[in-house]
Structure 1
Amino acid sequence: MVKSQKIALTACSIISLNLSHAQDENWKQLFNGRNLDGWSIAIENTPVGTDPKKLISIRDEAVHMYADTPLDQRGDFGVIVTNERYSRFHLDFEYAWGPKKLEPRKDMLRDAGLLYHIADPNKRTWGIWPVSMEYQIQEGDVGDLVFLKVRGLTWMHPDPNNSPGQGEAGLQPEAGGTPLFCNQQDHHYVGRYPVYDKLEGWNRVEAIVHGSESAVHLVNGKIRSRLFRITDDAMKPLSEGHIGLQLEGAEIKYRNIRIRKLAAPLSPATRYVALSQVRGLAPASTELEINNPSSEPIALDLSLTGSDSQLFQATLPAGAPTTLAPQGKIRIRIDFKPSNTTPPARYSTGLQIGPADLGTFVVLQGISLAAPEGDNEPPLQRITDALGIPLDVGGGGLHLNTKAPKIGAGVAANSLVRASDAPVRVTPLARFSPPGEIPLRWHSRGDATRKPIATLADSSKKSDAHQCLFPHWIDGKPSATFDPGSEPFSLVAETAHGAIPLDPSHTQPKVDHPARIFPIHTFLGNPVTNAVLVGFEEATNGDYQDALFLIENVRPSDD
């Protein structure tokens, strides 16, 4: 066992993050307090670069929207956009509402917004608004996420009916939010987070953005929302763009607008860590490698935050330095430690490694079981949520439909076909079944001959090998590969109680559909292409997590 030193961790549901070099000279003023040099104007129904109604003015070193606009005049919408583009940055400014509300939002909440990653200010998606990611600025909703024809991974409230407000109900991953890759065609609004803004006086806005990798929205020093994996509408990484400030029918002032370009932050091997633990069986732990790709040392402060932080622990190796050298790497141990009275459920927390601007944030997930097997096992939906896979599996209960041709976001297919000439890769993600080895085999469609892929280990060496996330192959490798050729093929999991076919015509299964195929695009918070989940049902209850595999370089066969 690697000796380690425990690091003092902050456990809370809301944190104000420490920032590195907060007062250094690298801050650049985006607004000089006198004019809009360095910015361009776009207002609806007017030529770009013009403001014939004088909707925008400079007063008391602030950009003042609608300061001189009469109350009986329409408050035309618009945006001011930086001439320069930014990729990795920490943006910081203040805003305050004025008293005016104008048509067409005269009887609505005061509204404005910060736009970033504007690839082309002239490419519009919704009225005057350019294609971009929006940090919402609206009464009670400051820091919400608005996807203006861009896409990204965020987290949703598992019980939205108890989270009233505008848009779809979001919830931070460290508070138990479930992953969702937002990809609506026009715009997608995620909000209903705790309120940190105030109607009177000045509010502080901060956005910490690292290219297409991540973004954090802070309001008055508190984290409101998070975002991973920002892409354009074609799913290509959206890593840079212009920055814009909206005028949207409500009087508003912006001041002290500054930005600091950032170096590449600490890089984790994965942005998600998922562990499982059966009460009384093997402890749940893993190691996470962290790299420093920058040319400067970065502090290695560790802090846990979230609703279940008391169940997790993060430690550095004994004697490890408190900073990570340029191009250096280190492995952090992560433990999931539910007690003997912890109810069976999915548990969440977040691990912040290093400062908010140059460190990294990792989502920690734990699945606790009171005992092995039977109704003690976790439902498939709980498993996919913990693995950072945005997916509707057909229900949140343990028992799913075994008769319907497809369930949830699954497909009605019994075979797969290789997507490219490369080998097919198979990674076991979960196993909740009786003990014993489970060989996984493949066969060509219509051919009874089964060929070996790999075998899941029994519980002789690891007591929970049959009741855990990431079960081992008997050779200890995390994945196995095979080459099925270019023709459609199917899979069979062989258990002590008989063969479980993906194609029901291959054997005589106990249920109509003994296995399910679910196409996926995200795993552990990272993009995957040409990938499916295949879940097998050994008995008759339809839990489809007796053996759950990630199959890559495949697509469901249409033949």
Structure 2
Amino acid sequence: MRPSVIVIALLLFAGFSLGLSRPKPRGWIQLFNGKDLKDWSVKISKHPLDDNFGNTFRVEDGKLVVRYDQYKTFDEQFGHIFYKKPFSAYLLAVEYRFVGEQVAGGPGWAVRNSGAMLHCQDPKTMGVDQDFPISLEMQLLGGDGQHERHTANLCTPGTNVVMNGKLFTPHCIDSKSKTYHGDRWVRAETLVLGDSLVKHIVEGDTVLTYEKPQIGGGNVIHYDPAVKKDGQLLREGYISLQSESHPVEFRKVELFDLAPYLNKPEQLRKVLRQLQNRK
């Protein structure tokens, strides 16, 4: 990655908002088509790939939703739904909200908790009992009506990142986002530039920045050791959405592919400016 690419991204994405009613530059890919899950694969812990246990992931009223009405208890059956192809450099946007009550048996930390997983390992390489893909998680949290609770945080199952020039090894770090209580829709975005720069953005505000995502650390179990190559930079990977025991809905999952511009700083500058300045 050329240093100038990082500088361009930092300058242009200091403040960033898509705006739901604003015209968008060409190049957006609707990962979720609003109709079905044909472009997605499901991996739920304790179940083989593409066993959508309990019809956990489904489409209702044009939304991709996570439901637990067919569960007796959660039983640590953490799930992820993966888009069909990997990406290296992109702007990902999800519009989500939490609804209802947590399923019986869900861990206390998972109340109103989900996430968009970035640079995921191929779901075909996950162990049957593996809980999370080796990946970066843009953790999505809903407010509890009382306490401050940031969203678009970073969690790192089987990964580490660099922050402020130093390797960051704790599992999670809070963003500086606002707290979003109730069942309101929230738009969260992440700018990913290969193995160099990642930024989390919520409702137009950049809330977290880190660099050099790489395999390492813990917080993932029952993985294939051959896949977990500690120290290896993550240049690309799959995108997935979580089921962590609380019902959640996604009405939009879209991506602007920046890979064609990654080694063309002037073109990248133009595209990022268009994305930032659309009105």
Q: How many residues align?
A: 239
Matching residue of 1:182: 168
Matching residue of 2:219: none
Matching residue of 1:334: none
Matching residue of 2:78: 77
Distance 2:81 2:121 in 1: 14
Given that residues 57 and 81 in structure 2 are in contact (C-alpha distance below 8 angstroms), is that contact kept between their aligned partners in structure 1? no
Q: Which has the higher strand share?
A: 1
Q: Call closer, same or farther: CA 1:225–1:356 in 2, change over 3 Å.
A: farther
| Residue 232 of structure 1: how far off its partner (Å) | 2.2
Given that residues 215 and 232 in structure 2 are in contact (C-alpha distance below 8 angstroms), is that contact kept between their aligned partners in structure 1? yes
Of 90, 113, 116, the match for 1:114: 116
Unaligned runs of 5+ in 2: 1-12, 143-148, 217-229
Deviation sequence 1:22-80 (CA, Å, 0-9, x none): 7022111101111111110011212210123222221011111116346x532732000
Matching residue of 2:140: 137
Matching residue of 1:526: none
| Residue 129 of structure 1: how far off its partner (Å) | 0.5
Q: Secondary structure at the match of 2:99?
A: strand
Distance 1:190 1:94 in 2: 22
- The residue type equivalent to 2:158 in the other structure is K
Deviation sequence 1:233-292 (CA, Å, 0-9, x none): 3323211010000000000001211111014768xxxxxxxxxxxxxxxxxxxxxxxxx8
- The residue type equivalent to 2:168 in the other structure is C
Of 225, 229, 241, the match for 1:245: 241
TM-score (norm 2): 0.75
Given that residues 42 and 49 in structure 2 are in contact (C-alpha distance below 8 angstroms), is that contact kept between their aligned partners in structure 1? yes
Given that residues 73 and 105 in structure 2 are in contact (C-alpha distance below 8 angstroms), is that contact kept between their aligned partners in structure 1? no
Q: Secondary structure at the match of 1:100?
A: coil
Distance 2:177 2:14 in 1: 13
Are residues 1:128 and 2:131 paired? yes
- The residue type equivalent to 2:163 in the other structure is T
| Residue 83 of structure 1: how far off its partner (Å) | 1.4
| Residue 205 of structure 1: how far off its partner (Å) | 1.3
TM-score (norm 1): 0.39
Q: Call closer, same or farther: CA 1:238–1:67 in 2, change over 3 Å.
A: same
Given that residues 118 and 133 in structure 1 are in contact (C-alpha distance below 8 angstroms), is that contact kept between their aligned partners in structure 2? yes
| Residue 198 of structure 1: how far off its partner (Å) | 3.5
Matching residue of 2:267: 296
Deviation sequence 1:310-347 (CA, Å, 0-9, x none): xxxxxxxxxxxxx9xxxxxxxxxxxxxxxxxxxxxxxx
Q: Secondary structure at the match of 1:53?
A: helix
Q: Call closer, same or farther: CA 1:149–1:203 in 2, change over 3 Å.
A: same
- The residue type equivalent to 2:174 in the other structure is G
Matching residue of 1:29: 30
Matching residue of 1:200: 183
Matching residue of 2:57: 56
Matching residue of 1:307: none
Q: Secondary structure at the match of 1:298?
A: helix
Are residues 1:17 and 2:39 paired? no
Given that residues 88 and 235 in structure 2 are in contact (C-alpha distance below 8 angstroms), is that contact kept between their aligned partners in structure 1? yes
Given that residues 175 and 207 in structure 2 are in contact (C-alpha distance below 8 angstroms), is that contact kept between their aligned partners in structure 1? no
Q: Call closer, same or farther: CA 1:357–1:88 in 2, change over 3 Å.
A: farther
Matching residue of 1:338: none
Given that residues 86 and 240 in structure 1 are in contact (C-alpha distance below 8 angstroms), is that contact kept between their aligned partners in structure 2? yes
Are residues 1:222 and 2:205 paired? yes
Matching residue of 2:41: 40
Q: Call closer, same or farther: CA 1:52–1:236 in 2, change over 3 Å.
A: closer
- The residue type equivalent to 1:138 in the other structure is L
Q: Call closer, same or farther: CA 1:125–1:53 in 2, change over 3 Å.
A: closer
Q: Secondary structure at the match of 2:137?
A: strand
Distance 1:190 1:126 in 2: 26
Unaligned runs of 5+ in 1: 1-13, 156-178, 267-291, 300-322, 324-353, 359-559
Matching residue of 1:90: 91
- The residue type equivalent to 1:236 in the other structure is Q
Deviation sequence 1:453-512 (CA, Å, 0-9, x none): xxxxxxxxxxxxxxxxxxxxxxxxxxxxxxxxxxxxxxxxxxxxxxxxxxxxxxxxxxxx
Distance 2:273 2:129 in 1: 36
The share of aligned pairs that are identical, in percent, is 22
Superposed CA RMSD in Å reads 3.1
Greater relative contact order (Cα 8 A, min sep 6): structure 1 or 2?
2
| Residue 223 of structure 1: how far off its partner (Å) | 1.3
Distance 2:268 2:113 in 1: 41
- The residue type equivalent to 1:86 in the other structure is F
What is the 5 A alignment of 1:530-541?
A: none
Distance 2:131 2:268 in 1: 43
- The residue type equivalent to 1:148 in the other structure is P
| Residue 125 of structure 1: how far off its partner (Å) | 12
